[in-house]
Homo-oligomer: A and B are copies of this chain.
Amino acid sequence: MNHQEALTSYIAAFVSELVKNGVEDVVVSPGSRSTPMAMIMAEHPELRVHIHVDERSAAFFALGIAKASRKPAAILCTSGTAAANYFPAIVEAKVSRVPLIVLTADRPHELRDVGAPQAIDQIHLYGNHVKWFVEMAPPEHSAGMIRYARTVCARAAATAKNSPAGPVHLNFPFREPLIPHLERDDLFELTERTGEYVSIQPGELTLSNEQYEEIGKRISSFTNGMIICGPIETAQFSDAVIALAEKLQFPILADPLSQLRSGKHSGEYIIDTYDTILKNEKAKKALKPDVIIRFGAMPVSKPLTIFLKEHQDVYQYVVDGGGGFRDPGMVSSEMIYCQETEFCRSILPFIERENESLLLAKWQKINGVTRSHLGKINALDELSEGKLFYQLAKLLPSGATLFVGNSMPIRDLDTFFHFNDKSISVMANRGANGIDGVISTALGAGTIQQPLYLALGDLTFFHDLNGLIAAKQYGIDINILLINNNGGGIFSFLPQASHPKNFEQLFGTPLDLKFQYAVEMYGGHYDLITDWEHFSTVMNQNKEKSGLKVMEITTNREKNIREHRELWEDVTREISRLLEDEC
């Protein structure tokens, strides 16, 4: 068996097993050393091969596919700095628990650390930021090594998927010549077995019946409880947690990424303005619970994080099916390692409400008042970042996916995007909250979910401009709401804003770019939004258009902060008045 045949059989076995283990998409960045894997992947009839020249964007694109499909996506690149460009998306995948299979081609052992071109140390290249690293054996054709390629592949896919999901990294040393032998009928054949070579059944963390009973009873014994749902994407969780809230008569403070703010379920228990409410000290006192059950990652709301932290004396449950420790305030009383949907369903039979709670009604009332007062933003004539997110609940079509950038968009979404029954799926890169790779992640998600809307600021848009190439090359439909306040809007909300010296240079960082040029370069459709009527018209017209569509909304950072502060002051006065009336 010669080199070429060994290379071909070994890699084909790997690629075949990849598909059998549920991988449907691979994002390939062009390169020489990765040639055998790339050429064999392109031959597989069931694998979608996406090409992306910029590895940083490529990895985020795959992240988006995996986030939206909840299936591991693979990425492949050549040796050298190409692989280092994957790092930001890998870090995000690890923290946000998204399954990613990272495949890097490498020089063979004899060409490492000897000054060979494009050779860098790729062993454990991503350190702790992947769940599993394997330095693959050089390709060999023996039955044993084919078995090895298949089982490592199956383990990689299973490890990526297993809770907490995350990235895995396999490094492949390839010797020249790199061209595989593709003129074979049996390229992906597995004769000795049917289905995948080895099937790995993923387990989930669960509790014993005794534990469920004990916890259920204990929770029932509290009087005033509340549920907090941070970013979470566990299947069927929404229904399960609403059923639990109903039985407990607890309000649910629902983060915009909890998937609870939109949907056909009842909105009765959903509290969607807590970020504003909890800016009011009186409200914090009035709304204090004696027990909190928290699900998902940490919510975006800083007032809520502070609220949690200030209430060490409240019994706080944190339920985490991924076995992490999501508690920056160090205030959890019980950390429960159990799949979240399973937890809600399994404690339900053990819930028996002993004491009637007034907390739900209080939250509902204050939430209602706050929601309607925040709605005043809709009366603004001028273009406004807050109003944009308020409008979205109305203007987005049901079934839409709304991807939001970090910094201000996710915060404005939190404040202004209120409960609606439209089944809008909300996504963001909230693992490490970076402003990088957002366009690519959204576009990756857009290959799975449509229609797709992306709302992001100008710095975030700029950071991943290269990501737009995927929209052009693959004709992916995307509606981008580019909120251009010419710089970093969030810093105006931070303490450095009161130190004007060097502020614009270090934090404001205006880019003064006409993004219309970029949109034209990528063959997109561009509109500079002039007013709200125009916005609504363009939103509607764009539904009929395909490909890349960018709506630019220009705002002003200083006016924006004033607008937010005035509204919050107004609302908080209203909340205080309401609470005084109650007393």
Contact = CB atoms under 8 A, between A and B. Distances in A.
A356 interface: no
A517 B521 contact: yes
Interface stretch (A28-36, A143-151, A206-214): A28-36
A114 B328 contact: yes
A222 to B, nearest CB: 24
A297 B117 CA distance: 10
A45 interface: no
B116 A30 contact: no
A236 B517 CA distance: 46
A125 B129 CA distance: 9
Contact of A129 (B94, B117, B120): B120
B91 A84 contact: yes
Interface string A448-467: 00000000000100110110
B92 A325 contact: no
Contacts of A187: none
Nearest to A429: B81
B436 A177 contact: no
Interface in A460-504: 462-463, 465-466, 469, 472-473, 488, 490-491, 494-496, 499, 501-502
Given A42-B506, A179-B499, A82 B30 contact: no
A49 B509 CA distance: 13
Given A326-B114, A506-B30, A120 B469 contact: no
A324 interface: yes
A434 B515 CA distance: 28
Contacts of A198: none
A496 to B, nearest CB: 6
A39 B325 contact: no
Contacts of A506: 28, 30, 38-39, 42, 49, 51
A113 interface: yes
Contacts of A520: 514, 517
Contact of A465 (B56, B327, B465): B465
Q: 8 nearest interchain CB pairs?
A: A115-B326, A81-B434, A517-B521, A116-B328, A84-B87, A80-B432, A81-B88, A84-B88
Given A30-B506, A178-B496, 5 more contacts: A49-B506, A51-B505, A80-B432, A82-B436, A119-B328
Interface of A: 28, 30, 32, 35, 38-39, 42-43, 49, 51, 53-56, 80-82, 84-85, 87-88, 90-92, 94-95, 110-111, 113-121, 124-125, 127-129, 177-179, 182, 297-298, 300, 324-328, 330, 432-434, 436-437, 459, 462-463, 465-466, 469, 472-473, 488, 490-491, 494-496, 499, 501-502, 505-507, 509, 511-515, 517-518, 520-522
